Structure 1
Amino acid sequence: MQRYIFRCRRVDMKLNAVVENRYAAAVEEAEKADALIASNTKTVKELEEELPLLGVPISVKECCKLKGMSYSVGCRFRVGKKADKDGTAVELLRRSGAIPLAVTNQPEMCLCTETNNLVCGLTRNPYNIQRTVGGASGGEAALVSSAGTLAGIGCDLFGSVRCPAMFTSIYGHRPTPGIVSVEGHYPEESSEQLTDHLVLGPITRYSEDLPLMMRVMAGNQAAKLKLHQKVNLKDLRVYYMTETGSSLSLPPVEKEIKLAIQKAVDYLQTTCKCVQKADFAEFKNSQEISRAVLFNLKNIPDALNEAKHLNNKESPDLWNEILKSFIGQPAFSSMALIHNFHVWISKKLPAEKTQLYICQNKNLKQKIIGTLGEDGILIYPTYPTAAHYHHQTMIRKPADSYCMIITSLGLPATNIPMGLNKKGLPIGFQVIAAPYQDRLCFAVAQELERAFGGWVQPPCLQTPTDS
């Protein structure tokens, strides 16, 4: 444990991933775990069954409650707020023996794919500190990728687990909605509509840890995923798309990401039942469809409404706050305001246009589920480019749609790292399955990790890893 704490301290000086640590408490918990093992009061089998994560150092995204730790969610108006208890998923991880080391940084209200806020500042990418780590689970991804912890927990609504995972060469899984409880996650007053899309998921360096983390986090819902069932890749049908086709609203996929998908597809042709190119033409409308669905959810996080709620005043005016941001007197991060601006635009669409896209989303979901069934997966870009430079997120907002469309469809998906591009930046793609077929994503992740290596140690950081 001391080595992981040393590693956390060391990498955090460069990355700024940790919001608040609990290193002293973690050492005490590790000593108790050592004492339990030394006492021989439980057999190895009993420990595996009752405490499968005994002594494993993890980190927790700040918006997931970890008792006694910061719960500001990157918002100035919430500075000083502490979690009064563990969220359900965090509690399950701790009951299984996991030891949280810290809560990690995120964008304000989790509203951006750049981990930056006015409370803790900017989190940097361990592969190139001039590049974004993604978001909203960027602090988690940075710490896990740089071997500060073995695994972490993040949330995924707009791609907040998968995008940072791709930018940092690790695995991030978006589970089937409803499997992992979001109780104790911000926003706490979640509508059923929101929880049909907002999920908590595991972030790991190694694919073999995904099913274990999911089994623990899912609690009494785990049986629905049939994680104990072995997946025979010879019976698996693989569909793939390297791009969306002609679309004016979506940025094109970089050549090296397309080649990574093709490399994986060529390999899977030798091991799987069948491999074929998919043609879901509706994906070209990913931005319009996903925004119509997600920006109209009830109880979606909103920085301006949060300020109104905390201060018992009228909600701040969006245009005034944008102006204050331009003149250097911001009360909210620029990306939180940009998010509000996009939501405002979305709500200005004619109702019939919004309903048209929502209907397209429903039809596309039925089409994909019908195609994949219980033995099929779809390979699709997680993000069209490798990690870009800091502060470019505003002009790259449409790129989020590669993740957002999968969220709007309510499908499970796992980011698969596929090495580095010529600039030394991680690339990868997502593997998507039908609801409750998460184990197919894990099986493909493990097979591709064996074939291509998976996580690549960040070159800008020196060793020690897990030895």
Structure 2
Amino acid sequence: MSVWNRILEALIVLAHILSDRLLEFVLGWFLGPHKRVSTPPSVEQQVLLTKSAVELAQQIRERKLKSYDIVKAYCERIEVVNRDINAVVDGPFEQEALEQAKRIDAKLLNNEYTEEDFRQQPFLGVPFTTKDSTSVAGKLHTLGLLARKTERSAEDAECVRLMKKSGAIIIATSNVPEVNKWIESRNMLIGCTNNPYDLRRSVGGSSGGEAALIASCCTGFGLGTDIGGSIRIPAFNCGVFGHKPSAGAVNMAGCTFRTGKEKETMVCAGPMSRSAKDLLPIMQVLIEPELKSVLKLDQQVDLKRLRYFYIASNGMPQCNPINTETERVMYKVRKHFESLNDGKDVRHANLPNTKLTGKMWRYWMTQEPANFNLLLGNGVELNPFVELFKKLLGQSDYSMAAIYGLIDGVLPKESEKLIRDATKKCKQALQELLGDDGVLFFHSAPRTAPFHYYPLVKFNDFAYFSLFNVLRLPATQVPMGLDANGMPLGIQVVANANNDRLCLAVAEELERAFGGWVPPFPLRN
């Protein structure tokens, strides 16, 4: 590398650091003092609301807890906390959820459930939520659009149907950016969802409402979808667990108008939770029947027999440089797995073409079956420049982020040959590196959750997540404590296609070793 190239790189890094600090200062001043969500009103409520979904299900089956009390507690928590986080689109569905819970409790009291019933309904009586763009029969299905503010779904999305079949009780739907295409959950219908750890900061997108509800203890668990980090970005920003499954593992019917028959797509539906131990049982409910033998989720994973790798940076000059606290997370993860594997190194790896991640994702989005412009216009094609002009006059029905997306649609396209070749080489290299027993640790983002509006200026950091949508590989977002500002840190765990069980097993080990989810409120003693 020439001296001039080194100087240019140093100047780019300096520009990122200065612009980041300037945005933090200005937006911090503009948005006012730090606030976070409130603590549950009693120790008893705190203990109940912070339990994992698996714990709740077990204690309902054993009649140590009543489903009615759990549902009521979560619905009451939503009513209190949603005033601050603004995460709910429809709900809580308190009356119907409580009636369902009451029937479950009565049948349990009368010993009407068999062991086979419990096996078929592993989440019997446990409340859950899902994002507004995922259909729930009879409930609002707005996609964050003013034009759809009264639209309701005729039937459940397949993933929702399966969760209901497993005994889980839907209690609310959550906020999304317009038609899911932005990294902050803001729209002109509901407004902006706020981060439970700091109400001035972003929850991410597009499953941002879900992550905020889960982190705030407003639900037992949630369902998200992920086409460019839409599960993992909010999970990272809000300090919870989220899993993006292998491509095709979960039927997408009913998620943002998908039919479930799409052959080539980056989008996946997957679980989000406060506990890593919830992810695998939820995945067992969601996965396509023909893939059960392929994914082998029941198969035990011996962590000492796995090979571990890490990548220090994606190399994109458009992204912020990795900050010190984020680097420290990677260091702690590496050292833990080196000690677990009798001192065997977690090896540094490089992948070809990760510098092109942003361009690769942008190209592959044009290959998706959905048309963003038509989705945003609710079937009517929009002129991006007309909408921009209307926005400047305060007359647009769309957020500035949505208008960014419209403008991007008329900009020059990426080179098909270049991107397809780059994607193929990157995927092939990672597949060869990992094999069937390899796991990759990858930064979630160069820094923790930014203030609201920050992504309108600097948005390329999402490429740390979107790479694995491009490559169609499973990735689990794992919380790793809080930074100096009290915001969640985290890391991604990646494996080869259909090796989701490796990601999930490593996530459970990281939770055991480092504590996992940290409540966004002070705990009562």
TM-score by length of 1: 0.93
Does the aligned pair in 2 maintain the 1:70–1:80 contact within 8 Å?
Answer: yes
Partner of 2:333: 264
Question: 2: distance between equivalents of 1:260 and 1:337?
Answer: 36
Aligned letter for 1:275? V
Larger Rg: 2
Partner of 1:453: 515
Is structure 2 residue 310 aligned with structure 1 residue 240?
Answer: yes
Is structure 2 residue 292 aligned with structure 1 residue 222?
Answer: yes
> CA deviation digits over 1:130-157, x for unaligned, max 9?
0000000000000001111111001000
Does the aligned pair in 2 maintain the 1:191–1:298 contact within 8 Å?
Answer: no
Does the aligned pair in 2 maintain the 1:189–1:299 contact within 8 Å?
Answer: no
Q: 1:292 aligns with which of 360, 363, 379?
A: 363
Partner of 2:429: 367
Task: Give the C-alpha shift of residue 330 in structure 1.
Answer: 1.1
Does the aligned pair in 1 maintain the 2:179–2:375 contact within 8 Å?
Answer: no
Does the aligned pair in 2 maintain the 1:72–1:79 contact within 8 Å?
Answer: yes
User: Are residues 308 and 132 of structure 1, via their aligned partners in 2, closer, same or farther at CA, if it must alter by over 3 Å?
Assistant: closer
Q: SS in structure 2 opposite 1:153?
A: strand
Q: SS in structure 2 opposite 1:164?
A: helix
Partner of 1:162: 232
Does the aligned pair in 1 maintain the 2:475–2:503 contact within 8 Å?
Answer: yes
Does the aligned pair in 2 maintain the 1:236–1:274 contact within 8 Å?
Answer: no
Partner of 1:8: 78
Partner of 2:460: 398
Question: 2: distance between equivalents of 1:252 and 1:128?
Answer: 23
User: Are residues 198 and 170 of structure 1, via their aligned partners in 2, closer, same or farther at CA, if it must alter by over 3 Å?
Assistant: same
> CA deviation digits over 1:72-114, x for unaligned, max 9?
1101111211010111110000000000110000000001010
Is structure 2 residue 142 aligned with structure 1 residue 72?
Answer: yes
Q: SS in structure 2 opposite 1:458?
A: coil
Aligned letter for 1:420? L
Aligned letter for 1:370? E
Is structure 2 residue 494 aligned with structure 1 residue 432?
Answer: yes
Aligned letter for 1:207? A
Question: 1: distance between equivalents of 2:246 and 2:448?
Answer: 26
Task: Give the C-alpha shift of residue 249 in structure 1.
Answer: 2.4
> CA deviation digits over 1:195-248, x for unaligned, max 9?
531110100100000000100011413332101100001101110012124x32
Partner of 1:198: 267
Q: SS in structure 1 opposite 2:505?
A: helix
Partner of 1:357: 419
Aligned letter for 1:433? A
User: Are residues 405 and 138 of structure 1, via their aligned partners in 2, closer, same or farther at CA, if it must alter by over 3 Å?
Assistant: same
Partner of 2:201: 131
Partner of 1:100: 170
Unaligned residue ranges in structure 2 (runs of 5+): 1-70
Does the aligned pair in 2 maintain the 1:187–1:299 contact within 8 Å?
Answer: no
What is the CA RMSD across the aligned residues, in angstroms? 1.7
Question: 1: distance between equivalents of 2:390 and 2:510?
Answer: 48
Does the aligned pair in 2 maintain the 1:134–1:167 contact within 8 Å?
Answer: yes
Pairwise mapping of residues 35-184 of structure 1 onto structure 2 (< 5 A)? 35-43=106-114, 45-184=115-254
Is structure 2 residue 252 aligned with structure 1 residue 186?
Answer: no
Percent identity, aligned pairs only?
33
Task: Give the C-alpha shift of residue 397 in structure 1.
Answer: 1.8
User: Are residues 388 and 463 of structure 1, via their aligned partners in 2, closer, same or farther at CA, if it must alter by over 3 Å?
Assistant: farther
User: Are residues 308 and 93 of structure 1, via their aligned partners in 2, closer, same or farther at CA, if it must alter by over 3 Å?
Assistant: closer
Partner of 1:30: 101
Question: 1: distance between equivalents of 2:450 and 2:239?
Answer: 14
Question: 2: distance between equivalents of 1:138 and 1:301?
Answer: 22
Does the aligned pair in 2 maintain the 1:125–1:142 contact within 8 Å?
Answer: yes
Q: 1:328 aligns with which of 390, 394, 399?
A: 394
Question: 2: distance between equivalents of 1:303 and 1:11?
Answer: 34
Question: 1: distance between equivalents of 2:329 and 2:122?
Answer: 34
Does the aligned pair in 2 maintain the 1:190–1:299 contact within 8 Å?
Answer: no
Task: Give the C-alpha shift of residue 46 in structure 1.
Answer: 2.6
Task: Give the C-alpha shift of residue 400 in structure 1.
Answer: 1.2
TM-score by length of 2: 0.83
User: Are residues 178 and 219 of structure 1, via their aligned partners in 2, closer, same or farther at CA, if it must alter by over 3 Å?
Assistant: closer
Question: 2: distance between equivalents of 1:149 and 1:131?
Answer: 21
Q: How many residues align?
A: 451
Higher mean Cα deviation, 139-148 or 220-229? 220-229
Does the aligned pair in 2 maintain the 1:156–1:174 contact within 8 Å?
Answer: yes
Task: Give the C-alpha shift of residue 343 in structure 1.
Answer: 3.2
Higher mean Cα deviation, 268-277 or 447-456? 268-277
> CA deviation digits over 1:290-339, x for unaligned, max 9?
22222x22333524554262x5xxx2211010111112111212111112
User: Are residues 56 and 307 of structure 1, via their aligned partners in 2, closer, same or farther at CA, if it must alter by over 3 Å?
Assistant: same
